[in-house]
Structures are given as structure tokens and as C-alpha cells.
Structure 1
Amino acid sequence: MNRLTFLLCVSAALQGQSLAIRAESLYTAAGPVIQDGVVLIQDGKVSAVGRAADVKVPSGLTVKRAKVAVPGLVDGRSTVGLSGLLNQSHDQDQLEGSAPLQPELRAMDAYNGRDPLVSYVRSLGVTTLHTGHGPGALISGQTFVIKTDTTEVTHGVLKPQAMVAATLGDGARAREAGKAPGTRAKQIAMLRAELVAAQEYARKQKEAEKGKEPPRDLRKEALVQVLRKELPLLATAHRAQDILSLLRLAKEFDLDIVLDGASEAYLVLDALKAAKVSVILHPTMARAFGEMENLSLETAARLQAAGIPFAFQSGFEGYVPKTRVVLWEGALATANGLSFEDTLRALTLGPARLLGIADRVGSLEKGKDGDVALFDGDPFEYTTHCVGTVINGVLVSEGEETRGATH
């Protein structure tokens, strides 16, 4: 058993380890850059952050050095762990095609932490995944949030249920002629009918005498959670017309929604801001065709300028290795109007806040998890390497997977 495999095996069983990280440039995502900075991690949690001259490192504690250190990256939306590295049906669990509406499907039941794709993104600084059922069905299932250092789904989960994933537009049309939904109007009508049915189910549950409740319905239970705002509706929509339909549906049922994809978001910025909607933006380098034909490389900068909360995502690709790398998607945004600091926040603290996990991850602050990504240069420069990934104070990657990966 090599060193990295051993570390991965034991890290899930440990509450956390102790480590000091010293970087020429330390970006905390919670304040200005610290030159010659130190992050002190004790028992898996950040215990001190500051200049090397001001932070005392306990004698004998391992010190890991890097040119640049940033908070562990948080992938805003992914299917990694459900969509595996191989282009084979046996490791593709991100989309169940037997019915258009399946909100009861839970991502945890399909996640494979041992898939090489998980270690691949981890080696590039991704420490937290918001992953699960992907777009391609009217309601494809649920998502959840997990750390990338664990091989067992029972460890490292930050949110066992995060959102219910839906799709509007061409991506949700039935693949067989004569099957529903075949049009946009049918999509909204089917969603509306399911939400109304869930409302009625919740009413009967509340009014029924004890012991005489209606039989459990897992589909309706999931949508009741959406109606009660316990789970947001994560809706993939690219066309402006579909985004506006989503906003109307959310207003009708008073839903918390998160917009995913949003290729034409720049056309409806005022409506998004008025609705107080957060956006998980499509991969910046996604191919501009079909519903995404009008995407813009400047959308991230426009969302930032409009004051609309957003995060970057890796998304899903139908070809090997099945995922983009959220670090590189963010990097391209810096070349198209988004500042370094704003890009970093949209890869760390931004998605952490959007997902409701900012008390644990997303920035390097005292009391938070000791998750750090280390680089040998500017993280957004393509020639830079991720030279270390730390999760809960454990060095879980030193870049070996990166150097051995094919793209």
C-alpha cells in the first residue's frame, strides 16, 4: 500500500489531524491576501491564520510549504461519484431514464467514493462536492454535499440532502415521440400538478388522526420538503424564456430556487435580482450549441456586477473523463472581466454560502475545517500545478494523480 492510499484509508476514520501550511501568498477568501502567511490546523480545524511572524507553530509539527495557498475548492454542482471515470453504463448513475419525475431518488444511494474521478478532482484542489442526479429529466432526483477524501459515503457528508434537481427546456423533453413532456408548456403543467399533489398530501398528513395517515409516498414527501423550503429546487434552465417560467413557478408556490446553467442569464439580470435567486453558472468553457448557443464568457462578471450570488461548477460531460474541472472553469472567467478575488470566492466561500455549509468550509478562518489547496503559482494560470490538497488537516494528495491524468 503506497503512502497516499494509506492516508486516504485512515483519513475518513480520523476526526482530523494537525498540520501547518506556510505560503508565500495566502488567500483566505475572508480578507485580504496575506504575504508569507501561515494556516495552523489542529485536530482537523483551523486554529490560527496570519503572517508567519505572528503565528507560532508548535514544535515538531509538520509544515507544508507552497507558493500559493487557498481554501479547499467547493464544486458548486457536479455528478462526480455518480458519473464514473469510464464511459460504461455500469458506472453512470447520474440519470434514471425510466420516468420524467423522480424526486425521491437520493444521490447518497448511488455515490461511489472509490471512483478514480473523485481522486482526480481532489488532486486538483477540490475538497467539497455538491453532487448528485444531473440534468436531463424534469425532476431527476436529489443532490448532496460530501468531502472528497472519503471512500465511504457514510463519512464526510456535510448535507445528506441538499437540493431537488429539475430541468426545464429541451433537456427535459421526452426522448420518445408521443411521451410526456414534449413541450415547455407540458413541463410546467407537470411540475405544477406534482406540487399541487404534494400540497394535498401534506394537508392530509396534517389533518389525519394518528394512525390513520395516508400511505407514505416518497415522491410527494420529497416535494413537500421543497414546498416547506427545507430543500431548494435546483432548476437547470438555459434559455431566457425557461428562466422566466421558472421564476413564475417559484412565485406561484413560494419556493426557494437555485438557477443552474443559466446560459442566457445576462438577458434577465433584473428579474433574477428582484427574485433574489442564486446562480450556479454553467461551466465557462462549455460548448456553445443547442440551448447553450448564446452563452457568454462574461456572464460571471455580469452576475458579479449585478450583485447576484453565484458559484462555478464542473457540471457533467458525456465523454471521458465525464467532468470538467471547476478550477479551470473559474480561471477562464478571470480572463473575461472577473477579478482574481471574485473568482476565488465563487470557487470557495460563494458556493459554501449558497449550499449552507459556510460554517464548515469555503474560507480559512479559525474554527472552520482545515481544507486547503496548495499551488506552485497563480492557481488560475494553466501551467500552474496543484501540489497538495489538505482535508481536515490531512494531506490527501500531493499532485500525483494530476501528473498521471489524461485530459
Structure 2
Amino acid sequence: MLIKNGKIYTMAGKVYEKGDILIEDGKIKEIREEIKGNYEKVIDAKGATIIPGMIDAHCHLGLFEGGKGFEGSDGNEMTDPITPHVRAIDGIYPMDEYFEKAVEAGVTTVMTGPGSANVIGGQFLAMKTYGRSVDDMALLEVGAMKIAFGENPKRVYNSKGKMPMTRMATAALLRQTLIEAKNYKAKKEAAEKKEEAFDINIKMESLIPVLDKKIPLKAHCHRADDILTAIRIAKEFDLKLTLDHCTEGHLIPEYVKESKAPAIVGPTMSFNSKIELNNKSFETPAVLMREGVKVAIMTDHPVIEIQYLPICAGLAAKNGNLTFEEALSTITINAAEILGLSHRVGSLEVGKDADIVIIDGNPFDLYRNTLYTIINGEVVYKG
């Protein structure tokens, strides 16, 4: 497939005012100002904007289905505050209508997983947004371990009359579990060295990739003190961390920068439904980015419907005085780098997945239309 004559934002340091992209076997084979030759399929993108497929770095797509109520709600196992062993891949329904809405909007990759009811909520999944089987759509079957601070675990377990009812208890349960996981790992390694039998504990097994820094803790933290607690615990145990929501990050940007943890900001285009959202601001991404923090923007779907991801980035650009490419980076290359997927998605470069969106204008414009969404070199939406 050849895409020609479009304005290409590669998000890899180069913009083609008029350029061509050649796709072969689902990958980007070539990008130049002009590519000559005869090709099986040609898309003339004259007058259109070409960008990488957009990425939502934190959502619950497929786990909270539209219009299904309890039957379609599979994102929070609210029976135990410690559930590291539950996996998003086992709860996602790819036929949920919002996958189609994501594709139509140009959102081609998501990190989706459990909600924030539990102190440790379970394993997030990185996946493409088009397909019938989540196994085929998956990029990372286990991409992060969800943890949560603040109001949500307090509210859920206060209603059950059990720990945690306070922020202190939330942190204490997380520390206790991480210590148990460290002890379990040491015992397992000692048993393996001696070639002795060892009883597998699925909860503890699920935390070994966290301890080995293969996946990050994905920390739900809105308020400044919760952000700092997440940073504190990650530092104590020498763990990778992403600060998800980071709602009051603009109040403590120097501490976020010092932590070296990236921020996944949002959902800002939503109602202040609880106290810890009172300082929510569309300026947060810009404040953090100017401090040197790597920032992505999220919808937290279904809190904000996933098709409005580019609108969220546009509002952040407007309110924070971000450039077009700075704003676009928060839902493309920055998101890909934070999720550990930049070798495949997030920018238009030779060898990467051919996840490409062709738009009849500015992607942040309410009046724009998606002309084509291409995933893995296949046209999956045509406007």
C-alpha cells in the first residue's frame, strides 16, 4: 500500500509538508517526499494530515462495556484489596462497541486493565483496538501492575468494614504485600537452586515481574500526598513506576521530576466527582512537561469515552499553551515510550507497525473527520 501526498507528522523529529509512506507486510517500509512505482493499493491523501495511530495509555476499554450494567462490568474484583493475580486479558470483550469508536477516532493502541477499587488491582494489558480475539490483539499480555491510593480503595473497603479505611492502611497493605513477594521470590530461588519442590502462590508469582522491574507499578494517584506516597514506596522497593492521573502533579512538579516517573494525566474532561479532583486542571500536562517530565494523556474510558482522546490533548494544548507537536506527543510517541512500546508504535518510522491515521484537518479539531484508520497495514476504518 502506498499513501501519498499527505502532510506527515512522523513524531520522530521530521514533518513532511507533502510526503509518501510505503507499507509492506503490516510494517512501514519507506517514508519519503516522493515514492515512485506501481502498488496494489494507493491512497491519495492530498490536503490531509497523516499522524501515527493514537495511544490511550490508561483506560478500561473492554472491561466496562457500554450499556451492559453489571453484566458488562468486569474491571474491579471488589472482594479482596490485594488481587495482583487478576489479568485484564481474561475480562476484555473485543466486540464492545467502543472498540469501533476508538478505531473511528484513530485510537489504535490502548493500555487497558483493572480499575482502582483495590490497593493492588491486577495486571494491565497493551493491545491494538481492532480484532476479534484479545490474544491476537495483544502487544503486551502483562504490561503493568495496577495499584491505587486515595479515595477509591478507602471508600470500597470502608463500606465492607475492613482494611484499608485510611491512606495509612493502603500504603501499609501495599508494603506488606511487596515484602511478602520479596520473601517468596527468595525462597523460590533457593528451592530452585537446591532443586527442591516449591508450592506456587499465584498472587506472589504475579508480583515477581514487578520486583524484577520488567513491568511498572501503574499507580492510581490524584492528590499530591498520594502521588508522593507512590513515589516513596517505589523508591523504597526500587521499582519502576508510572503516575497515573497525577491530578495534582502541577502542585508538586519538582518532586514528580525528581522521581523520574512519567505521568499519565487525566481524565480531565470530566466532572469533579470526588474531593481529590478539586484541583484538576488542563494546565497540568504543560506544567509537568516544562519541568522535564514525560507526559501522556488518557481518557480513563469509560470516564471519558475513548473517542475523545484527541479532544483531551487539544484542550491541554489550548490551556497549557503547548505546541501542536507537544500535544500530539502525549497521545503518540510519549505514550508509546511510557508503555514500553516505542519500538513498534507511537511514531511513523521505517520498521514500525503501520498504524496510521489520515485526517481531513487538525486532529484536535471538533470538526475534523477521520478519513482512514490503518492498523498493522490494514485499512480498518474508512470515513
TM-score band (shorter)? over 0.9
Which residue of the partner structure matches residue 55 of structure 2?
74
Report whether the alignment pairs 1:287 with 2:271: yes
Which residue of the partner structure matches residue 390 of structure 1?
374
- Displacement of 1:136 in angstroms is 2.3
Which residue of the partner structure matches residue 234 of structure 2?
250
- Displacement of 1:59 in angstroms is 4.0
Which residue of the partner structure matches residue 228 of structure 1?
212
State the Cα deviation string for residues 64-106 of structure 1 (Å, max 9, x = none).
Answer: 4251110001111111011112241111111111111101111
Report if aligned partners of 2:127, 2:140 keep a CA contact under 8 Å in 1.
Answer: yes
Distance 1:64 1:85 in 2: 35
Report whether the alignment pairs 1:326 with 2:309: yes
Which residue of the partner structure matches residue 112 of structure 2?
131
TM normalised by structure 2 equals 0.94
Which residue of the partner structure matches residue 33 of structure 1?
15
Which residue of the partner structure matches residue 35 of structure 2?
55
Matches within 5 A, 1:251-270: 251-270=235-254
Which residue of the partner structure matches residue 45 of structure 1?
27
Report whether the alignment pairs 1:88 with 2:69: yes
Report if aligned partners of 1:23, 1:68 keep a CA contact under 8 Å in 2.
Answer: no
Which residue of the partner structure matches residue 5 of structure 1?
none
Q: Structure 1's 197 and 87: CA in aligned 2 closer, same or farther, altered over 3 A?
A: same
Percent of aligned pairs sharing the same letter:
34
- Displacement of 1:280 in angstroms is 0.7
Report if aligned partners of 1:284, 1:332 keep a CA contact under 8 Å in 2.
Answer: no
Distance 1:338 1:122 in 2: 26
SS at match of 2:335: helix
Distance 1:219 1:65 in 2: 50
Distance 2:345 2:183 in 1: 38
Matches within 5 A, 1:346-357: 346-357=330-341
State the Cα deviation string for residues 138-192 of structure 1 (Å, max 9, x = none).
Answer: 1111101111121101213211100000110011111415211000000111111
- Displacement of 1:244 in angstroms is 1.0
Q: Which amino acid is the alignment partner of residue 290 of structure 2?
A: A
Distance 1:151 1:327 in 2: 25
Report whether the alignment pairs 1:115 with 2:115: no
- Displacement of 1:31 in angstroms is 2.1
Q: Structure 1's 133 and 35: CA in aligned 2 closer, same or farther, altered over 3 A?
A: same
Report whether the alignment pairs 1:362 with 2:346: yes
Report if aligned partners of 1:163, 1:233 keep a CA contact under 8 Å in 2.
Answer: yes
Distance 1:375 1:57 in 2: 25
Report whether the alignment pairs 1:163 with 2:144: yes
SS at match of 1:141: strand
Report whether the alignment pairs 1:342 with 2:326: yes
Which residue of the partner structure matches residue 315 of structure 1?
300
SS at match of 2:99: helix
Q: Structure 1's 69 and 342: CA in aligned 2 closer, same or farther, altered over 3 A?
A: same
SS at match of 1:222: helix
Q: Which amino acid is the alignment partner of residue 315 of structure 1?
A: D
- Displacement of 1:110 in angstroms is 1.1
Report whether the alignment pairs 1:271 with 2:255: yes
Which residue of the partner structure matches residue 187 of structure 1?
170
Distance 1:205 1:186 in 2: 28
Distance 1:28 1:323 in 2: 23
Q: Which amino acid is the alignment partner of residue 340 of structure 1?
A: F
Distance 2:124 2:284 in 1: 25
Distance 1:298 1:136 in 2: 27
Distance 1:64 1:108 in 2: 37
Q: Which amino acid is the alignment partner of residue 24 of structure 1?
A: G
Which residue of the partner structure matches residue 405 of structure 1?
none
Distance 1:176 1:61 in 2: 58
Q: Which amino acid is the alignment partner of residue 80 of structure 1?
A: L
SS at match of 1:236: strand
Which residue of the partner structure matches residue 65 of structure 1?
45
Give the one of 128, 132, 139 matched to 1:151: 132
Which residue of the partner structure matches residue 16 of structure 1?
none
Report if aligned partners of 2:334, 2:346 keep a CA contact under 8 Å in 1.
Answer: yes
Report if aligned partners of 2:101, 2:307 keep a CA contact under 8 Å in 1.
Answer: no
SS at match of 1:207: helix
Distance 1:150 1:57 in 2: 31
Structure 1: tracts of 5 or more residues without a match: 1-18, 400-407
Q: Which amino acid is the alignment partner of residue 302 of structure 1?
A: V
Structure 2: tracts of 5 or more residues without a match: none
Report if aligned partners of 1:85, 1:322 keep a CA contact under 8 Å in 2.
Answer: no
Report if aligned partners of 2:124, 2:142 keep a CA contact under 8 Å in 1.
Answer: yes
- Displacement of 1:211 in angstroms is 5.1
SS at match of 1:390: strand
Distance 2:2 2:215 in 1: 37
State the Cα deviation string for residues 5-48 of structure 1 (Å, max 9, x = none).
Answer: xxxxxxxxxxxxxx222343211111232112211111111111
State the Cα deviation string for residues 196-248 of structure 1 (Å, max 9, x = none).
Answer: 11111011111125553431111111122211111110001011011111111
Report whether the alignment pairs 1:305 with 2:305: no
SS at match of 1:335: helix
Distance 2:161 2:92 in 1: 33
- Displacement of 1:283 in angstroms is 2.2
